[in-house]
Structure 1
Amino acid sequence: MTHFRFLKIFFFIVFPIFILAQPPKKKLTNLSYQELKEFFKKNEKDENKQLVYANAYLAKANKENNSIQKAAGWYLLSLLCKGDKAIRYLDSTIHYSKNLNDVKYPAYAYSRKAYELKYQSKYKEAIDNFLIAESIARKNNPDFYYDVKYSIAVLRSEELGEINEALKLYKECFNYYKEKNVEDDKYSYNYQDVVFGLADAYKALKQSDSATYYNRLGYNESKLTKDYEYNALFVLNEGANLVEKKIYNTAIDSIKKALPKMILYNNSENILASYYYLGKAYDGLGQKNKAVENFMKVDSIYNKTKRITPEFTSGYLYLISYFKNKKDKENQLKYLSQYMNIDSILQNNYKELTKKLQKEYDTPNLILEKENLIQALTNDKTKSYWGIGLLFLLVIATTSFGFYQYQTKKRQYVQFEKVMHTSTNISEPETIKTGKKEFKTIKSGIENIGINEELVEQILKKLNQFEITKGYLLSNITVQSLSDTFETNSKYVSKVVNTYKEKTFIQYINDLRIEYALQSLKKDPKLQKYTIQALAIEFGFNNAESFSTAFYKKSGIKPVYFIKQLEKLNKT
């Protein structure tokens, strides 16, 4: 009762003073941009007030027609919302700041947009926006450049499972931040982010000693800066590392110390991680019931957040096996269906199943087992002949599909062997000479395209040099940009390529890129580890889809299949 009375006194005395301390609404636009921004920050726990200051900021910018301040105003508004609405505001920030070479914008907007897309599981678009942000920040904002580089590393590590690629990025960031005053607020959080990323990556690669080193480093740093959430995260991560080292009791002790902090800070992703590693630790101790209890909590959190990374999906396999042994078909089907749903989402997002999922539970077997479970449950309840008929149809469909798959794989392999034998060397560009025979060849073509023979020869020489220097690997190359480089008319370049290369300009560029890609993939095993998106960028394409389409058109097979066959050849 006394405590409540004190709160009432505080509310009626202090709150009016606080209200009086705020600037009158009518005069908000008379404040400077810096003052409005400071009021916005001071009211971070009251979004309604923040909205007032953000709108006032934008209104002032619109009134003064100040583009960079308009961009900043839209960015402030984006901080107050999530999802598609935030993305729309961020697009406005990008629109007003795109060509202004500002230190913050549009790099900040592209980075935050990438996070919003990541939360929507649109990983391809997220990566694209992170890469744009990184490219912009590289020019004039090194601090933010490494901040974005770290974000790309997290996405590659946690969402796409590209641990080695992420580790390289984490190391670059670590080398940058360790030269700074990492106890200063400006760098402390980013530095601890990177240290945690290194520890987590080494843990995933099962290099436990390195993981322990960085967990200890991060634990000590977070104690110095009094970052209690990160302090608990390093304890949790070391607990997970101890699970991988099979030191189960100590691991459980560490995880249980960290878990209450994760709950306190409402860190749902690491609450899920805590239960997952507790499940693995109890399984290691042979305590299956406790393992199942924790893996079921993982599923419960996933049902609420709809977010899970490949690292934590094996708990479902444990639950499926557990309930199968218990002959509990209801729960077996429940977790099998959930696992297949997650598998489907991951497949759509990443364009292919992760290696972990492929090894542990092949998709066709999952489908067949699910259908068998559904059939068994139906038979148990109804004893109907319909079930037998459906099973018969399923066998026919599966057999037909299997035969179709066999024929498809056979055709693909024949095409693969053809590519390997017919594309042994990158075709060298033709050397343009000045003898009479060459002039006759050119002249015979000139009569069809109506261009001076000397100009044709110049263009052919420049195309020859263009091929030698691999200029076709530059992204976004067009006939116009190449013509500008050649200092000639785009129509001339297009006609010369059509006549002498016997291709459209796009086919000409794409064929050069794919021929180079084929040879590079055969010669360099490192490239075979790249994602399709990374290969697309490596060979001058803007996205994975255009690369795959061009690759298939040129070679008759998809790049994923080509790489898999190369890997098999390397092993043998």
Structure 2
Amino acid sequence: MVKLYSIFFVFVSIFSYSQLKGLAFYENLENKLNNFQKNDEKAFVYISPYLNRAKKENNLTKMATGYRNALFFVAAPQNKLRYADSTIYTALKTNDPDLIAIAYLGKGIVYYSTFRNYKAALKEYQTANQYLKNSKDEYLKHKVLYQLGVIKSYLGYNTDAIENFNRCASYFKQQIENDFNPNALFNNKKGYLNSLHQLAICYASLERKTKVDSIINIGLFVTHQQNDFLLERAYFKKCKGILEFQNENFTTAQMDLGEAMKEISKVDDFAWLSVIYFYMGKNQLIQKNEKKAISYFKKVDSIYQERNFILPELVQNYRFLIDYFKNNNDKAEQIHYLEELIKVDQRINKDFHFLSLKVNKDFDRKSLIDEKNKLENKSKFNQYVGVTFIILFVILLSLYIRHIRNQKDIQRAYDELQVKLLNFEQDTSLNNQPTKSTKNVRSSISPDLLKEILLKLDNFEANNEYLHKNLTLAKLAVKFKTNHHYLSTIINEQKGKNFNQYISELRINYITQQLYSNKKFLSYSTQALADTCGMGSRNSFTSYFYEYNGIKIVDFVRKRKEELGIK
């Protein structure tokens, strides 16, 4: 009966709104939407009549607004994109640059907040920015400035991002103090709180704990007993939980993170949920609750598998999983998470390369032009000093970036080789199973002779006889009591490589396994390692090691020592 009454009440309300004329109709329905949270589709009881009236009147501005409201309250991610496209399509018909910019900005925000697709979001922000060149809408300009700050923060350009967010926080705070319109007040307050949240994130990345604590306290104070800003309060609780963890207040940290998780999960903000799970896992790990910690770390991985997104700071999540399964002798899981770590690392590197180029090229060009004009107005000496400094800075920055990328490439190569080594340990060794010929061989070699030589090759590999120095095809043929031509043919056709490649690969595989499983080999010189595997020549050994393993011998030894804690 109560439910029936509620439906009747809504119907009567909508009917009464339908009697209103002109802008009052739209304004009344827009005010009603303030009672709903993001992704609450019950709001469509007001959005539908809003859009119907706008379409009937062919009011393009209100149609665009209706579609924009729809994308905010619809829950399904793909439907958000559809409404975003409808907003853009309708806005373009109005030829209003500000309205078009709002539409493109809205789609960019959907890509960012719903999909965490920074590439797609950046493209929409670029388009919005073009339409805002001559705009006088400061609120809209600061929304774009805020979103660019988010991308800079994601890339690790925290100092630049802080400048964006400080400007946004200052602007939105000023508007709160001067504007008493309820809708404008709500939007500006939301902008202010979001800017504070992003400032807390940036300062946390710079390890400015006192500053972070101060910002969190402001955020919690402003959102205290404010039901319209429960989500924003949850973000500050999330930051507080992380800070408490870093300050080793583990019980408080767990409470704050848990409280934040409840609210953030309602809007399915998977990016920050994964951060919360990560820190809850670390919190449990420190308190020796390994199994509970691993369950949280697995949740982080589940989010990545489902959404194909992970924040750079969560890469360590996979290190925890790898170490756990390594310590528990679960090689299958260890290999699985090593492979996932490699994928995650590649995904992040790909994103960073694209975004950093775009942010610097498309949005900082104006700053560079301004800087150039300033330099041109200075004396020739100051120009020379300034340009020299910039060139030196760019060179040093390039060298630093190159070093960082090189280290990441080394880590990736090491991880890939580690997967290969662990798989080798898991699989039944070829040395323990006779080679079965399934390939066609030259008719001049009888099946019996083929079987005999393959068996001898198996024994040759099993007994590590390839480690003997000065081993040649002729010598091995004599040992096998066969024709060197037959032996060469069988190795080529059955092993898929010539004699020298076959022996070199066996030697490199042997020495790599020894370096990975036997600590004493890590103290050997490169020449000693070459001698041990029978190669003799230091240059040939290092060249073959890199060719077969994709990582230099010195880098592999260094990474293995780091992993084992050997200095």
Shorter chain as denominator, the TM-score bin is 0.5 to 0.7
1:146 is aligned, of 142, 145, 149, to 142
Corresponding residue number in structure 2 for 1:466? none
SS of alignment partner, residue 179 of structure 1: helix
How far has the Cα of 1:149 moved from its partner?
A: 1.5
- The runs of at least 4 consecutive aligned structure 1 residues that moved more than 6 Å come to 385-391, 393-398, 401-406
Please list, as runs of the form range in 1=range in 2, the aligned pairs for 1:174-253 lying within 5 A after superposition.
174-181=169-176, 184-223=185-224, 225-226=226-227, 227-253=229-255
**Structure 1 residues 56 and 211: alpha-carbon distance in aligned structure 2, compared to 1, 3 A threshold:** same
Tell me if the contact between 1:114 and 1:127 (Cα under 8 Å) persists in the aligned partners. yes
1:372 is aligned, of 421, 438, 451, to 421
How far has the Cα of 1:154 moved from its partner?
A: 1.8
**Structure 1 residues 397 and 260: alpha-carbon distance in aligned structure 2, compared to 1, 3 A threshold:** farther
**Structure 1 residues 75 and 329: alpha-carbon distance in aligned structure 2, compared to 1, 3 A threshold:** same
Separation in structure 2 between the aligned mates of residue 91 and residue 301 of structure 1, nearest angstrom: 30
**Structure 1: stretches of 5+ with no match in the other structure:** 1-8, 407-572
2:163 is aligned, of 146, 160, 168, to 168
Establish whether residue 325 from structure 1 lines up as the match of residue 327 from structure 2. Answer: yes
**Structure 1 residues 265 and 59: alpha-carbon distance in aligned structure 2, compared to 1, 3 A threshold:** closer
SS of alignment partner, residue 317 of structure 1: helix
Separation in structure 2 between the aligned mates of residue 383 and residue 311 of structure 1, nearest angstrom: 43
Tell me if the contact between 1:222 and 1:231 (Cα under 8 Å) persists in the aligned partners. yes
Q: Deviations over 1:31-65 (max 9, x none)?
A: 53652464466476436645633542452354xxx
Identity of aligned residues (%): 19
1:400 is aligned, of 547, 551, 554, to 547
Tell me if the contact between 2:281 and 2:292 (Cα under 8 Å) persists in the aligned partners. yes
How far has the Cα of 1:249 moved from its partner?
A: 4.7
Please tell me the residue identity of whatever aligns with 1:12.
Answer: L
**Structure 1 residues 114 and 364: alpha-carbon distance in aligned structure 2, compared to 1, 3 A threshold:** same
Separation in structure 2 between the aligned mates of residue 228 and residue 261 of structure 1, nearest angstrom: 7
Please tell me the residue identity of whatever aligns with 1:347.
Answer: N
Tell me if the contact between 2:111 and 2:120 (Cα under 8 Å) persists in the aligned partners. yes
SS of alignment partner, residue 178 of structure 1: helix
Separation in structure 1 between the aligned mates of residue 545 and residue 60 of structure 2, nearest angstrom: 61
**Structure 1 residues 351 and 383: alpha-carbon distance in aligned structure 2, compared to 1, 3 A threshold:** farther
Aligned residues: 389
**Structure 1 residues 343 and 53: alpha-carbon distance in aligned structure 2, compared to 1, 3 A threshold:** farther
Q: Deviations over 1:299-318 (max 9, x none)?
A: 23333444321122211111
Separation in structure 2 between the aligned mates of residue 173 and residue 180 of structure 1, nearest angstrom: 11
2:2 is aligned, of 2, 5, 10, to 10
**Larger Rg belongs to:** 2
Q: Deviations over 1:506-563 (max 9, x none)?
A: xxxxxxxxxxxxxxxxxxxxxxxxxxxxxxxxxxxxxxxxxxxxxxxxxxxxxxxxxx
SS of alignment partner, residue 325 of structure 2: helix
SS of alignment partner, residue 207 of structure 2: coil
Tell me if the contact between 2:29 and 2:50 (Cα under 8 Å) persists in the aligned partners. no
Please tell me the residue identity of whatever aligns with 1:188.
Answer: K
How far has the Cα of 1:240 moved from its partner?
A: 0.7
**Structure 1 residues 50 and 73: alpha-carbon distance in aligned structure 2, compared to 1, 3 A threshold:** same
Corresponding residue number in structure 2 for 1:451? none
Please tell me the residue identity of whatever aligns with 1:46.
Answer: K
SS of alignment partner, residue 122 of structure 2: helix
Separation in structure 1 between the aligned mates of residue 51 and residue 273 of structure 2, nearest angstrom: 36
Tell me if the contact between 1:316 and 1:335 (Cα under 8 Å) persists in the aligned partners. yes
How far has the Cα of 1:168 moved from its partner?
A: 1.6
Establish whether residue 46 from structure 1 lines up as the match of residue 38 from structure 2. Answer: no
Corresponding residue number in structure 1 for 2:89? 92
TM, length-normalised to structure 2: 0.58
How far has the Cα of 1:14 moved from its partner?
A: 4.2
How far has the Cα of 1:220 moved from its partner?
A: 0.9
Corresponding residue number in structure 2 for 1:347? 349
Corresponding residue number in structure 1 for 2:52? 56
Higher relative contact order (CA 8 A, sep 6+): 2
Tell me if the contact between 1:319 and 1:335 (Cα under 8 Å) persists in the aligned partners. yes
Please tell me the residue identity of whatever aligns with 1:202.
Answer: Y
How far has the Cα of 1:216 moved from its partner?
A: 0.9
The RMSD of aligned alpha carbons is 4.1
SS of alignment partner, residue 173 of structure 1: helix
Corresponding residue number in structure 2 for 1:115? 109
Please tell me the residue identity of whatever aligns with 2:164.
Answer: L
Please tell me the residue identity of whatever aligns with 2:143.
Answer: D
How far has the Cα of 1:219 moved from its partner?
A: 1.0
SS of alignment partner, residue 156 of structure 2: coil
Separation in structure 1 between the aligned mates of residue 244 and residue 168 of structure 2, nearest angstrom: 26
**Structure 1 residues 357 and 121: alpha-carbon distance in aligned structure 2, compared to 1, 3 A threshold:** farther
How far has the Cα of 1:142 moved from its partner?
A: 1.0
How far has the Cα of 1:364 moved from its partner?
A: 1.0
Separation in structure 1 between the aligned mates of residue 5 and residue 138 of structure 2, nearest angstrom: 47
How far has the Cα of 1:359 moved from its partner?
A: 5.2
How far has the Cα of 1:267 moved from its partner?
A: 4.3
1:22 is aligned, of 6, 14, 19, to 14
Tell me if the contact between 1:208 and 1:245 (Cα under 8 Å) persists in the aligned partners. no
Tell me if the contact between 2:14 and 2:46 (Cα under 8 Å) persists in the aligned partners. no
Corresponding residue number in structure 2 for 1:272? 274
Corresponding residue number in structure 2 for 1:337? 339
**Structure 1 residues 329 and 176: alpha-carbon distance in aligned structure 2, compared to 1, 3 A threshold:** same
**Structure 2: stretches of 5+ with no match in the other structure:** 357-400, 436-457, 462-494, 497-501, 510-542, 554-567
Tell me if the contact between 1:71 and 1:96 (Cα under 8 Å) persists in the aligned partners. no
Deviating more after overlay: 163-172 vs 230-239: 230-239
Corresponding residue number in structure 2 for 1:303? 305
Separation in structure 1 between the aligned mates of residue 264 and residue 97 of structure 2, nearest angstrom: 40
How far has the Cα of 1:92 moved from its partner?
A: 0.5
SS of alignment partner, residue 427 of structure 2: helix
**Structure 1 residues 398 and 32: alpha-carbon distance in aligned structure 2, compared to 1, 3 A threshold:** farther
How far has the Cα of 1:332 moved from its partner?
A: 0.5
Q: Deviations over 1:251-292 (max 9, x none)?
A: 334334444444456544333222211222344455544433
Tell me if the contact between 2:64 and 2:86 (Cα under 8 Å) persists in the aligned partners. no
Separation in structure 2 between the aligned mates of residue 216 and residue 161 of structure 1, nearest angstrom: 24
Separation in structure 2 between the aligned mates of residue 253 and residue 85 of structure 1, nearest angstrom: 38
Q: Deviations over 1:153-173 (max 9, x none)?
A: 123223x33322211211111
Tell me if the contact between 2:51 and 2:62 (Cα under 8 Å) persists in the aligned partners. no
**Structure 1 residues 177 and 338: alpha-carbon distance in aligned structure 2, compared to 1, 3 A threshold:** same
How far has the Cα of 1:336 moved from its partner?
A: 1.5
Establish whether residue 32 from structure 1 lines up as the match of residue 26 from structure 2. Answer: no
**Structure 1 residues 251 and 40: alpha-carbon distance in aligned structure 2, compared to 1, 3 A threshold:** closer
Q: Deviations over 1:321-346 (max 9, x none)?
A: 22122221011122122222222322
Corresponding residue number in structure 2 for 1:442? none
Tell me if the contact between 1:33 and 1:57 (Cα under 8 Å) persists in the aligned partners. no
How far has the Cα of 1:232 moved from its partner?
A: 3.2
